[in-house]
């Protein structure tokens, strides 16, 4: 009989077995695997261009016109 493979550490909630209702709101975020968390943070972040991106945009406009 094969041993069941454990989930990779990133997918295991850090707070253990307590149900969501008993968690503090600050702990909810720990339930989300890190790459997914990064995705949501990116979605919620206001879009700001770095200086290099601005320069590039100006150059592209110059080239296309």
- 32 vs 36: CA distance, rounded Å: 6
Rounded Cα gap, residues 41 and 6, in angstroms: 27
Question: Is residue 57 domain-resident?
Answer: yes
Give helix then strand counts, H and E, for the chain.
Answer: 3, 0
Give the chain's domain count.
Answer: 1
Q: Assess if residue 44 is contained within a domain.
A: yes
What are 6-64's pLDDT values in tens digits?
Answer: 555 555 455 555 555 665 655 555 555 667 667 767 777 666 667 777 888 888 888 88
- Is residue 32 one of the residues assigned to a domain? yes
What is this structure's pTM? 0.25
* Angle, alpha carbons 46-40-58 (nearest 5°): 35
Residue 52 located in a structural domain: yes
Please check whether residue 8 lies inside any domain of the structure.
no
For residue 45, give its domain range. 20-64
């Amino acid at each position: 009989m094969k041993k069941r493979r454990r989930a990779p550490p990133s997918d295991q909630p850090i707070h253990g077995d307590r149900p969501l209702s008993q968690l503090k709101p600050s702990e909810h975020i720990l339930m989300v695997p890190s790459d997914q968390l990064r995705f949501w943070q990116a979605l919620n972040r206001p879009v700001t261009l770095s200086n290099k991106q601005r320069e590039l945009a100006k150059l592209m406009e110059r080239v296309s016109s």
